[in-house]
Amino acid sequence: MPSTEDSLQPCLHPIYARMLCAALQQRGFTPEQILAGTGLDWSQLHGDNRSLCFAQIQRLIRRAIQLTDCPWLGLEIGCATQVSAHGPVGYAAVACADLRGVLQVVERFSVLRMSGIRLTGQARDGRYCMTGDESFDLGDAREHILATMAGTALRLLDAVCGGLALAELEFSFPFAEPPWAARYRERLGQVTFAAPAYGVSLPLQWLDRPSLSADPLAARTALRDCEQLLQGAQRGGEWTRRVQLRLLACEGRYPTLEQLAGELNLSERTLIRRLREEGVHYQQLLDEVRQELACWLLQNTPMSVEAIAERVGYQDSSNFSRIFRRWLGVTPRAWRQGAA
């Protein structure tokens, strides 16, 4: 049975949104074009390390595909991303003594970068198979996210082991073979589509390959940092995350700041201060939760705009439409038509 947190929208480190934005800029798109209709703020996205929830990254992915007409963009980004971009997890991985240690780091700590996919590995028929189980339906963002993971895995293996024999690697994806499947095979070698889950498989003897960048001291330091981050995530993490989880569990009737502070056994002033220390305020978090739920309902249900307005806590649908336009630059009806 998944935990309450697992059943909610996964979080993604903002570095991946920044890499996507950078790839779009390299193709000539402006920040205004890139973020149009996503509800994201350029300066906040590039200056704040707070995780993005799935709804936010999903909107950015849709916008990227719309602008580029390149459904395999995630693969290109993953293959081009430096290992250092993955923070302590990347540093810990490349500093391990051998590939066995690298894969153990990836499997244990990858949830720090993308919380909706759990990586597990096992030996089978002379090969080591690492599988990614989705704890949340990734919907139309699945191909982009999993292709990015595959490209990232290839880049990491190459950084650790040097020249790889692509013929010895096997990647699998849980979506139907797309018309652009040749792009995957050019980059990854052996690829299987319509598989039960995402996975990467390699010869079992590769596990003993020494890492080209092994550094015992750096590995210990990075692993300590990863463990501390993981413990924080398992406890519910920062106050921002606790508030987000509480608001995500609501059904249209959201607590006031005073009520929420009482639930958390804090004074209102203390909760304000703790959120401010993390660079956010309560109304901002409430708006984000309402916005994400409203967009999901508009795209995935036939509910009327009036019913959705009530569901996200607005009794006046015209007020909801005005605020929605402030969030995303269009009316709820226009957004629904564009997302269809």
Report the CATH number at residue 183. 3.90.1520.10
Q: Give the predicted TM-score (pTM) of the model.
A: 0.74
User: For residue 214, what pLDDT is reported?
Assistant: 93
Last residue in a domain, options 207, 231, 255: 231
CA atoms within 13 A on the CB side of 154: 28
CA pair distance 49, 14, nearest whole angstrom: 6
Alpha helices by DSSP H, 268-331: 268-277, 282-300, 305-311, 317-328
pLDDT digits (tens, 9 = 90+) for 238-282: 688 778 777 876 766 889 999 999 988 889 999 999 888 877 889
Task: Give me the phi and psi of 292, to 5 degrees please.
Answer: -65, -40
Share of the chain above pLDDT 70, in %: 93
* Mean pLDDT, all residues of the chain: 87
pLDDT greater than 70 at residue 236:
no
Mean pLDDT of 132-155: 93
Query: Per residue in 26-51, pLDDT tens?
Result: 999 999 999 998 888 898 888 777 77
243 and 122 belong to one structural domain: no
Q: Are residues 153 and 128 in the same domain?
A: yes
Q: Does the pLDDT at position 1 exceed 70?
A: no
Of the candidates 204, 226, 16, the residue with the CA atom closest to the CA atom of residue 105: 226
Q: Give the whole-angstrom CA distance, residue 92 versus residue 95.
A: 5
Task: List, as one string, the DSSP characters of 226-244.
Answer: HHHHHHHHHTT-SHHHHHH
If asked whether residues 59 and 157 sit together in one domain, one would say yes
Looking at the fold, whether 195 and 165 belong to one and the same domain comes out as yes
Number of domains in the chain: 2
Which residues are CB-neighbours of 182 under 8 A, at least 6 positions away? Answer: none
Which range marks the domain in which residue 278 is found?
239-339
Distance between start and end Cα atoms, the chain: 33
Residue 221 sits in the same domain as residue 182 = yes
Say whether both 251 and 187 belong to one domain.
no
For 159-168, 174-183, 233-242, 315-324, which range has the lowest pLDDT when averaged over its residues? 233-242
